[in-house]
């Protein structure tokens, strides 16, 4: 890549400002992305990253400021105009129709009517050329999450983008799939494509990106070369303070078994779901059991049966403190001291149009005794909501604001805090730091570790292997509805877990894994 002085930026932003009631999301932000450059956009939750890329892609209109494309003034009124200009975006959550084929899904995202046979050939050519193997006639519901992401990338590549925006692209990938994707992105950059890359995984930012722009509180803070920084220094630039890594109490003694699953099976009610097949595991008091796996391998069904939203085939398949709970509903389980953080924070973990006070009440009314004489104790509930906001550093204009007004990461902090401050005896947490910045992730990890040290049993379901290795005592892998034997983290490597996540038999022992590797 040539020096910046010798090149006209592919995209340049000058003084981009966007305000919402009570919040200045983008405050006069400047940004330059050169041709062939992989440029990271870093910042805490609520720093303004999502607002900025939505302005670039035409989803939002800036209040003020200018954009330039190859040195010429640029106006992007909508995503169609962005794509026509040469800007493609791959969102964190895929927009695919499960019952349709790869070709049909890609055709829906392209302008005009397509000759499906010709399109299938183009898909095959591009997917093979860029190391993104796809079968055009496969139905999407039969694909892994990594393969689904390839569809989104190939759909963008078919439109010959000059700038590709990627939002948390590796959050659903195995380590092996992420490595393959990085190879593709480096090749695209070598061919002159600019890439704006958003991720909270700072190690991959260091290995992949040429430059990084740091945002904090809606303001431009600095531009740096991530290859000469450490993950810690990048995180500290994002949060503006020193970052403290979570301290694991490795010498903590395990208590008695709190949660036990015995031959737990469940037939999924979802047409495209995954049946659970004879799962066996235990979680002790004072222990954090991590369950890894690529999305779509039975995690949803496991979380539903653990929370009580689905019932086990018989009550004895799930025991809590030796009591059968397999047939109990969520309220009955909560009354026993079980808390739950679901995967979907909007709609499942919270009601978007309700205030934070009301959302605090939803799961905590019984454990925190928020009902008095049959009526909601408003003062006590408000105090509890404010305590969550304070303890977990939730950035909000006030607890009377709706859950939907928070950024994704701040809402995640609120929901995790709401459950953990109930002092549960057992807590099941799905993706505790999904979309959460490094500083907040470290705080949540420490809170989980502290709760375990107090004797609680904790089960964490996550696709983030760094997270699981940082906080877990033991890790198991779920793949195609089967669960591997849980092993101590000291006996495992990320590569071994990645192989199991990719479909190696869930009952494989260490020798079997090594033979596959």
Let me know if 81 is exposed, middle or buried by CB neighbors in 10 A (0-12, 13-18, 19+).
middle
Q: Which residues contact 155 (CB under 8 A, 6 or more apart)?
A: 105, 106, 109, 110
- Residues 415-431, mean pLDDT to the nearest whole number: 93
Which token pair is 117? Answer: 């046979």
Give the Cα separation of 477 and 96 in Å (integer): 26
Nearest to 429 by CA among 289, 269, 229: 289
Rounded to the nearest integer, the mean pLDDT of the chain is 85
Residue pair 19/48 in contact (Cβ under 8 Å)? The answer is: no
Q: Which CATH class is domain 255-332+466-517?
A: alpha beta
Q: Which residue has the tokens 């380590």?
A: 175
Which of the following CATH numbers is that of domain 4-239: 3.40.50.300, 3.30.560.10, 3.40.190.10, 3.40.630.30?
A: 3.40.50.300
The yes-or-no verdict on residue 515 having pLDDT over 50 is: no
What pLDDT score was predicted for residue 247? Answer: 66
Give the Cα separation of 6 and 382 in Å (integer): 57
What pLDDT score was predicted for residue 252? Answer: 53
Which token pair is 167? Answer: 């939002």
Give the number of other CB atoms < 10 A from CB of residue 517. Answer: 11
Give the number of other CB atoms < 10 A from CB of residue 253. Answer: 9
The pLDDT tens digits for 341-352 are 988 787 788 898
- Residues 244-269, mean pLDDT to the nearest whole number: 79
The yes-or-no verdict on residue 426 having pLDDT over 80 is: yes
Positive/negative CA dihedral, 52, 53, 58, 59: negative
The proportion of the chain whose per-residue pLDDT surpasses 70, expressed as a percent, equals: 91
**Long-range pairs for 361-366 at CB < 8 Å and ≥24 separation?**
363/334, 363/339, 363/418, 363/419, 363/422, 364/418, 364/421, 364/422, 366/331, 366/334, 366/335
Residue 359, CA distances (Å) to 334, 353, 356, 365 in order: 16, 10, 5, 10
255-332+466-517 matches 4-239 in CATH topology: yes
Residue 66, CA distances (Å) to 14, 88, 323 in order: 5, 20, 63
Give the Cα separation of 348 and 205 in Å (integer): 31
Q: Which of 47-51, 158-162, 421-425 has the highest mean pLDDT?
A: 421-425
Let me know if 473 is exposed, middle or buried by CB neighbors in 10 A (0-12, 13-18, 19+).
buried
Q: Where are the beta strands (DSSP E) in 183-273?
A: 194-198, 211-216, 219-224, 257-266
Q: Which residues contact 76 (CB under 8 A, 6 or more apart)?
A: 55, 56, 57, 58, 67, 82, 85, 87
Give the number of other CB atoms < 10 A from CB of residue 162. Answer: 16
The pLDDT tens digits for 18-34 are 998 777 889 999 999 99
Q: For residue 123, name the pLDDT band (cuts at 50, 70, 90).
A: very high
- Return the domain boundaries, the chain: 4-239, 255-332+466-517
The pLDDT tens digits for 193-234 are 999 998 877 888 998 999 999 998 889 999 999 999 888 888
What is residue 402's DSSP assignment?
B
The yes-or-no verdict on residue 514 having pLDDT over 50 is: no
End-to-end CA distance of the chain: 36
What pLDDT score was predicted for residue 34? Answer: 95
State the pTM of this model. 0.68
Q: For residue 509, name the pLDDT band (cuts at 50, 70, 90).
A: very low
What pLDDT score was predicted for residue 384? Answer: 93
């Amino acid at each position: 890549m040539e020096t910046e002085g010798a090149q006209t930026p592919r995209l340049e932003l000058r003084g981009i400002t966007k305000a919402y009631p009570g919040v200045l999301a983008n405050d006069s932000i400047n940004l330059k992305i050169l041709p062939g450059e992989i440029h990271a956009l870093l910042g805490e939750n609520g720093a303004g990253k999502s607002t900025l890329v939505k302005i670039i892609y035409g989803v939002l209109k800036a209040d003020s400021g200018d954009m330039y494309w190859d040195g010429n003034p640029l106006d992007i009124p909508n995503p169609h105009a962005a794509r026509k200009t040469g800007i493609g975006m791959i969102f964190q959550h895929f927009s695919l129709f499960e019952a349709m084929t790869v070709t049909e899904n890609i055709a829906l995202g392209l302008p005009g009517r397509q000759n499906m046979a010709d399109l299938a050939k183009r898909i095959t050519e591009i997917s093979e050329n860029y190391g993104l193997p796809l079968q055009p006639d496969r139905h999407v519901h039969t694909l892994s999450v990594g393969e689904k992401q390839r569809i989104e990338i190939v759909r963008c590549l078919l439109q010959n983008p000059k700038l590709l925006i990627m939002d948390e692209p590796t959050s659903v990938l195995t380590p092996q799939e992420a490595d393959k994707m990085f190879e593709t992105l480096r090749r695209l950059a070598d061919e002159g494509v600019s890439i704006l890359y958003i991720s909270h995984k700072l190690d991959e930012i260091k290995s992949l990106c040429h430059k990084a722009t740091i945002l904090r509180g809606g303001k431009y803070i600095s531009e740096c070369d991530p290859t000469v920084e450490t993950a810690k220094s990048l995180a500290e630039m994002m949060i503006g303070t020193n970052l403290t890594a979570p301290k694991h109490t490795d010498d903590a003694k395990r208590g008695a078994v709190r949660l036990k699953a015995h031959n737990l099976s469940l037939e999924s009610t979802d047409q495209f779901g995954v049946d659970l097949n004879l799962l066996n595991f235990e979680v002790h008091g004072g222990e954090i059991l991590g369950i890894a796996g690529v999305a779509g391998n039975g995690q949803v069904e496991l979380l539903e049966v653990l929370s009580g939203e689905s019932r086990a085939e018989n009550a004895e398949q799930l025991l809590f403190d030796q009591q059968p709970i397999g047939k109990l509903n969520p309220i009955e389980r909560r009354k026993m001291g079980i808390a739950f953080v679901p995967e979907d924070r909007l709609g499942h973990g919270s009601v978007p149009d309700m205030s934070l006070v009301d959302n605090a009440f939803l799961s905590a009314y019984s454990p925190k005794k928020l009902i008095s004489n049959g009526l909601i104790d408003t003062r006590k509930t408000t105090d509890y909501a404010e305590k969550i906001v304070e303890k977990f550093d939730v950035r909000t204009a006030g607890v009377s604001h709706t859950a939907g007004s928070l950024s994704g990461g701040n809402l995640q902090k609120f929901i995790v805090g709401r459950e953990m401050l109930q002092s549960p005896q057992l807590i099941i947490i799905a993706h505790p730091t999904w979309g959460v910045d490094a500083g907040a992730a470290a705080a949540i990890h420490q809170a989980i570790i502290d709760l375990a040290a107090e004797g609680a049993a904790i089960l964490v379901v996550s696709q983030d292997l760094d997270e699981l290795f940082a906080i877990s005592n033991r890790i198991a892998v779920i793949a195609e509805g089967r669960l591997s034997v849980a092993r101590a983290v000291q006996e495992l490597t990320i590569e071994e877990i990645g192989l199991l996540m990719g479909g190696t038999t869930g009952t494989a022992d260490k020798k079997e894994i090594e033979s596959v590797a």
